[in-house]
């Protein structure tokens, strides 16, 4: 009874004082929060002791689970030495310097240089600012337009929301109008390919659309195109074969930078260190966060090629300063945790591990996908999307008012499994440390949630 009262108290003060991210604030007043207090491996526990298998790694970040003592010790040790310092005005710290060297060795960029931030959103904003700064430095001040994709998520900052392709990230904010952001189609073979259109023909059409934007707007007005290797929050959408290699060639032929948002895919998630490598992209600048510290402390980074860096450096010399940065850029404690996470990733050979576990995940979800409610499963490495449909044959989606994806997420929670719905697509992004037994539990609970959702729909009919 004491625990229950304490849980009620926590829920009440949370609802009273805390405006939650990505949440219906009014509904939250009555529903309250799932109040978590502990993490152990791939599990998290709420204030009343109920345990949940976390198949989303929190928000795509807890690659090493929720109780990695090496990361905890790295933070503790650094907090005792140099807990905080900045990187303004020629200052740095030993751990940030080491981190920069290690990241430069794994990012798919020639002669890479690093810049540090505190989140994926800051990484996206910084990456776009650097693209604009680069073109200004090269004497191409007319290159200001950014090409982005419908359905994409690029963070919650003003610029991130503007280049993102999810309407709810803009709705109600009265954001500044701009004609210097142009959106092209998202890659969604399942939803948007024409009847009888092959994957190759669909890819042709997507590339032709970008080429048409370049021709219409004029290459000399376009600074960059931003893209996630896999569109994450927009539904775990994987690109058609050849898409990124062809896109890279097209952009480079016009002097347009390719900005890769690797906030979700970076650090081994797709079977390579970065999603750009999985899909043959040739980026100029890369944004990363989440897996950089496995979520244990906020940190992000922007990696740029040597040629981009040289232009930025020359411009900063001409102006007297590179006028961008954050109080906590290159934070020593965050850097120490990131170094410890990288050590863990190397030790487990994260890219090979996720490629192997991804094959297991694909096989298990293909069995689950024989169910009439599942239209498609999309898997790349250890990340997946399960798209729920009303009609499997003609891909008919459920009516939005049925909130089928939300029903599934709630039913999974009752089964002790945390997933995330993006509309009627269910996302999975399990921790790399998940063992075979935990994997089997995840699949079993997914099936139970699917059956419970079907029962809900029958009862509502």
Question: Following DSSP, what letter does each residue of 365-433 receive, concatenated?
Answer: HHHHTTSTTEEEEEESSS-EEEEE-SBTTTTBPPPGGG-HHHHHHHHHHHTTEE-EEETTEEEE---TT
At 147 the three-state DSSP class reads: strand
- We find that the CATH architecture of domain 34-67+349-460 is Alpha-Beta Complex (3.90)
For residue 225, what pLDDT band results from cuts at 50, 70 and 90? very high
Average pLDDT of every residue of the chain = 97
Give pLDDT, residue 461: 82
* Rounded percentage of the chain residues whose pLDDT exceeds 90: 97
Assessment of whether the complete model's pTM goes beyond 0.95: yes
> Domain coordinates of the chain in residue numbers?
34-67+349-460, 70-348
Give pLDDT, residue 299: 99
For residue 2, what pLDDT band results from cuts at 50, 70 and 90? very low
Dist CA 56 CA 446 (whole Å): 13
Write the class of the CATH domain 70-348: alpha beta
For residue 3, what pLDDT band results from cuts at 50, 70 and 90? very low
pLDDT (tens digit, 9 = 90+) per residue, 167-214? 999 999 999 989 999 999 999 999 999 999 999 999 999 999 999 999
pLDDT (tens digit, 9 = 90+) per residue, 357-405? 999 999 999 999 999 999 999 999 999 999 999 999 999 999 999 999 9
Dist CA 245 CA 227 (whole Å): 13
pLDDT (tens digit, 9 = 90+) per residue, 396-454? 999 999 999 999 999 999 999 999 999 999 999 999 999 999 999 999 999 999 999 99
- 431-457: burial string, b at 16+ Cβ within 10 Å, e else: bbbbeeebbebbbebbebbbebbbebe
Check if the beta carbon of residue 52 is closer than 8 Å to that of residue 45: yes
34-67+349-460 and 70-348: same fold? Answer: no
At 235 the three-state DSSP class reads: coil
Give pLDDT, residue 392: 96
Cβ neighbours for 229, distance < 8 A, ≥ 6 positions apart: 239, 244, 260, 261, 262, 265, 270, 274, 275, 276, 278, 279, 281
pLDDT value at 318 more than 70? yes
At 151 the three-state DSSP class reads: coil
pLDDT (tens digit, 9 = 90+) per residue, 21-42? 999 999 998 888 999 999 999 9
CA 415 centroid distance within chain: 26
Check if the beta carbon of residue 364 is closer than 8 Å to that of residue 447: no
Give pLDDT, residue 7: 87
Give pLDDT, residue 4: 53
Cα Rg, the chain, nearest whole Å: 22
At 299 the three-state DSSP class reads: coil
Instruction: Output the CA angle 207-153-203, nearest 5 degrees.
Output: 15
pLDDT (tens digit, 9 = 90+) per residue, 260-312? 999 999 999 999 999 999 999 999 999 999 999 999 999 999 999 999 999 99
Give pLDDT, residue 5: 83
- 266-281: burial string, b at 16+ Cβ within 10 Å, e else: bbbbbbbbbbbbbbbb
pLDDT (tens digit, 9 = 90+) per residue, 119-132? 999 999 999 999 99
At 364 the three-state DSSP class reads: helix
């Amino acid at each position: 009874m004491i625990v229950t009262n304490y849980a009620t108290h926590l829920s009440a003060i949370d609802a009273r004082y805390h405006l939650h991210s990505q949440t219906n604030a009014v509904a939250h007043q009555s529903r309250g929060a799932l109040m978590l207090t502990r993490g152990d491996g791939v599990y998290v526990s709420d204030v009343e002791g109920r345990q949940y298998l976390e198949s989303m790694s929190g928000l795509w970040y807890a690659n090493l689970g929720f109780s990695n003592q090496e990361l905890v010790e790295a933070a503790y040790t650094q907090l005792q030495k140099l807990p905080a310092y900045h990187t303004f005005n020629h200052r740095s710290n030993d751990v940030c310097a080491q981190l920069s060297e290690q990241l430069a060795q794994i990012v798919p960029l020639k002669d890479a240089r690093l810049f540090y931030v505190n989140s994926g959103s800051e990484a996206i904003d910084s990456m776009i600012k650097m693209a604009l700064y680069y073109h200004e430095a090269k004497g191409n001040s007319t290159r200001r337009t950014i090409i982005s994709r419908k359905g994409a998520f690029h963070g919650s900052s003003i610029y991130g929301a503007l280049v993102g392709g999810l309407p709810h990230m803009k709705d109600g904010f009265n954001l500044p109008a701009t004609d210097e952001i142009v959106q092209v189609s998202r890659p969604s073979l399942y939803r948007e390919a024409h009847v009888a259109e092959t994957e190759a023909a669909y890819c042709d059409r997507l590339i032709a659309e970008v080429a048409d934007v370049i021709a219409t707007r004029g290459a000399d007005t376009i600074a960059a195109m931003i893209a996630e290797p896999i569109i994450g929050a927009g539904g775990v959408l994987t690109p058609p074969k050849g898409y990124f290699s062809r896109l890279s060639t097209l952009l480079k032929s016009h002097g347009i930078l390719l900005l890769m948002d690797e906030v979700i895919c970076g650090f081994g998630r797709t079977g390579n260190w970065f999603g750009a490598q999985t899909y043959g992209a040739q980026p100029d600048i890369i944004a990363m966060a989440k897996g950089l510290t496995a979520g244990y402390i906020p940190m992000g980074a922007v990696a740029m090629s040597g040629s981009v860096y040289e232009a930025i450096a020359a411009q900063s010399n001409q102006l007297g300063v590179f006028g961008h940065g954050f109080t906590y850029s290159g934070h020593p404690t965050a850097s120490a945790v990131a170094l410890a996470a990288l050590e863990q990733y190397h030790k487990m050979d994260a890219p090979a591990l996720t490629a192997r576990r991804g094959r297991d995940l694909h096989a298990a979800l293909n069995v689950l996908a024989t169910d009439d409610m599942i239209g498609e499963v999309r898997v790349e490495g250890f990340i997946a999307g399960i798209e729920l449909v009303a009609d499997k044959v003609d891909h008919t989606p459920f009516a939005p008012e049925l909130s089928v994806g939300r029903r599934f997420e709630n039913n999974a929670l009752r089964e002790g499994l945390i997933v995330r719905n993006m509309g009627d697509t269910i996302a999975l992004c399990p921790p790399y440390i998940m063992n075979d037994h935990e994997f089997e539990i995840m699949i079993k609970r997914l099936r139970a949630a699917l059956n419970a959702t079907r029962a809900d729909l029958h009862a509502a009919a």
